[in-house]
Amino acid sequence: MSSQVRLRLLPSARCLYDKPIQVKVSHLKSRQVVRIKASSTDERGVLFSSSATYRADENGEIDLVRDASLSGSYVGVEPMGLLTTLKPNIVNKLFVKDKALEPHMVKFSVHDEEEQDRMLAEATNERFLMADGVSRVSVEEGNFHGALFTPPGKGPFPAVLDLSTVMSEKRAALLADKGFVVLTVPVINEESVNVKMLHLDPFEEAITFLLQQPKVGSKRIGIISRSKSADVALSLAAFVPGVEAVVWISGCSANTVLPLFYKKKQILPALMIDMEKLIPAESGIFIAKYAMHDPLKEENRATLIPIEQANTHFLFVASEDDLNWDSNIYMMEMMERLKRHGKKNFESVCYPRAGHLLEPPYGPFCHSSFHIFLKTAILWGGVPRAHVAAEVHLWKKIQEFLRSHVTCEE
């Protein structure tokens, strides 16, 4: 390894997961061509990797904020491209980074294109989910379990319930750094493979628990949700007191897959999936966009969630290239319904060329992975560059929305 070439990660090799870094290489030969590689192993032991070829300037320097990749995992100027284009060495794998206490470790290295891929320099980026001072406590109360994240300081802070379809701490941990007390709770227990129904009562318990936390100053909570958990969030807003704001990402306007119960009574039947409408795509992968039954057909209208009865602010977020289902159509249906009821308690954003899996920014873009309900691999949709840009924009919008609607009492 050459001691001359320098690979720097700025402003620091240690940063929060949702912060960009600047990758710079110096002390190369003038106009030297090198390949920069990145690799990371997720929590399930799957290796993800990316690479891009760059030509140094006349001073022997490369700056990923300024310079364009000539070939590799992406082409053009993509400052965070080595992170967002990390791909698995096993097909149809989602990058799993759900445990807040463990950083996302990414190894970067610079290799000489002309000398049999000889390594010239290397550095490791530690991307933390928990900022300094944020606390994490595992929670098992009554009929729910999850993890509670609390910002440093006395507070008071607004409260947010993070509903994830299966347990994930990433979004909650990062939001706590932004000044929210966040409780993350899964909608589905991955161990419970034969779930036949869902109950709202445990989530109501979670809301009560969250509002009782000593640093919480808001009287009502915000909810952030995506996909299946988004229809649970809508149902909580419609049927359970205490919900001030809901962020609905890539969801449905109806109660999907599992019948929904509250106080021992079924309140919504399930909108089901027609497996025969899965569209075969690449080898062993399907497009599920048109497989869900139409909630507006007369026989399915009972599955629609009555959000018009909610005293809640909504942020609806959809993607035009969502291949899991048509979240944009569902979003438009809900907005039209609210307008018909004289409601103005919503705002919306639709991202062109983005896919279903909108996450906090700078994680690896997922092309396809296993669908927990369909029991097969599906395409999620999205063009990587546009999807990444959507995640950066949305992450700021979510924080602004929650701050403006979930406020602490004076």
Any idea which residue has 């919008």 for tokens?
Answer: 397
Count the neighbouring beta carbons within 10 Å of the beta carbon of residue 166.
13
Q: How far, in Å, CA of 116 to CA of 387, rounded?
A: 34
Reported as type and span, the H/E element at residue 346 is strand 346-351
Select from 228, 236, 224, 307 the least CA-distant residue to 273: 228
Q: How far apart are CA 18 and CA 245, in angstroms?
A: 23
Cβ atoms 184, 169 nearer than 8 A? yes
Active site residues: 227, 322, 356
Q: What pTM was computed for the model?
A: 0.95
Residue 192: its pLDDT value, please?
61
Contact by Cβ (8 Å): 287, 219: no
The pLDDT value given to residue 216: 96
Instruction: At 301, list the tokens.
Output: 């209208």
Q: What is the pLDDT of residue 116?
A: 75
* CA gap 84, 81 in Å, rounded: 5
CA 376 to chain centre: 21
Domains and CATH numbers, the chain: 6-128 (2.60.40.2240), 135-405 (3.40.50.1820)
Instruction: Give the other-Cβ count within 10 Å of 178's Cβ.
Output: 17
Radius of gyration of the chain (CA): 22
What's the confidence (pLDDT) of residue 333? Answer: 97
pLDDT at residue 284 in the model: 82
Which among 236, 178, 174, 158 has a CA at the least distance from the CA of 204?
Answer: 236
The CA distance from 384 to 360, in Å, is 14
pLDDT tens for each residue of the chain, 410 residues long: 445 999 999 999 999 999 999 999 999 999 999 999 999 999 999 999 999 999 999 999 999 999 999 999 999 999 999 999 999 999 999 999 999 999 999 999 999 988 777 999 999 999 999 999 999 999 998 899 999 999 999 989 999 999 998 889 999 999 999 999 999 999 988 666 678 899 999 999 999 999 999 999 999 999 999 999 999 999 999 999 999 999 999 999 999 999 999 999 999 999 999 999 999 997 789 999 999 999 999 999 999 999 999 999 999 999 999 999 999 999 999 999 999 999 999 999 999 999 999 999 999 999 999 998 998 999 999 999 999 999 999 999 999 999 999 998 75
Contacting residues for 101 by C-beta, under 8 A, at least 6 apart: 129, 130, 136
Longest dimension (CA), the chain: 73
Under DSSP, is residue 396 helix (H, G, I), strand (E, B) or coil? helix
Question: What's the per-residue H, E or C state across 108-126?
Answer: EEEEECCCCCEEEEEEEEE
Report how far residue 69's alpha carbon sits from residue 76's, in angstroms, rounded to the nearest whole number. Answer: 5
pLDDT for position 193: 60
The span from the CA of 332 to the CA of 8, in Å, is: 46
Bridge partner list, 346: 314
User: What would the two tokens of residue 345 be?
Assistant: 């308690």
